[in-house]
Amino acid sequence: MDVEAEFLEGKLEQPMYLKIPDILVMLGFLTKDQQEKFCISLMRSMYGNVDSALRFFTIFIQCLQSQAIGMMQSQADPCVMYMKDDNGMPRVVAAITVDDCLLGGKPEDIACLMKKVGKYFKISTENVMERHLGVDYKFLRDDKNEIYLEAIMEKKVNGIVKLFEDVAGEDVTIYDTPGFPDSVLKKNEGDTIKVEA
């Protein structure tokens, strides 16, 4: 479940103002004198505010904990919310990363939760998680027909390899495995390569 335009949802605790952009004067919506005399008062947070993610998270957690939805926040991780059934067992578990929620539970319980959340926020959903935080996921079956999850970061890995090759001026050597059992990487005692960002 993904909350759309989440950073516009956060409530401001103190007044915040913006300078009127020059483009509004250039387009003739107001004069230069008006631009210098007036400003824009924000009613809610916006993209670019350093605390917009925290402001959204606070309002989102309050919504999930409301009587209408009834989730509880984990004491071990504030980004994990859960809802229990009548027997005290977890019914739905939500792992929250800013505006993205990975939901676990029975399909009907997840659908009910999303319907409730949809009354407060515009959300989009996926039936099966395929990508989250730059990681691509594939649900596969082993030779016993049991489900397992393959998680890969091919785009990120290729970016790291390209950066290394650009800096080192040589191709990366490909091995069958990134490491061997009972071995660890050793500190480089030789020359270091400085990477310019």
Q: Which domain holds residue 97?
A: 2-128
Helix (H, G, I), strand (E, B) or coil at 94: strand
Domain membership flag for residue 40: yes
Q: 116, 65 in Cβ contact below 8 A?
A: no
Domain membership flag for residue 37: yes
Q: What is the pLDDT of residue 194?
A: 65
Residue with more model confidence, 190 or 159: 159
Residues 4-40 pLDDT 10s: 877 777 677 788 888 999 999 999 999 999 999 999 8
Q: What is the pLDDT of residue 154?
A: 85
Domain membership flag for residue 196: no
Q: 44, 12 in Cβ contact below 8 A?
A: yes
Helix (H, G, I), strand (E, B) or coil at 2: strand
- DSSP assignment of 129-159 equals --EETTEEEEEEE-TTS-EEEEEE-HHHHHH
Residue 143 has pLDDT above 70, yes or no: yes
Domain membership flag for residue 140: no
Domain membership flag for residue 116: yes
Helix (H, G, I), strand (E, B) or coil at 123: strand
The pLDDT of 48-60, averaged and rounded, is 81
Write down the mean pLDDT value for the chain. Answer: 84
Q: Is the pTM higher than 0.75?
A: no
Please tell me the total count of domains within the chain. 1
Q: What is the pLDDT of residue 179?
A: 64
Domain membership flag for residue 167: no
CB atoms within 10 A of CB 167: 12
Domain membership flag for residue 109: yes
Domain membership flag for residue 133: no
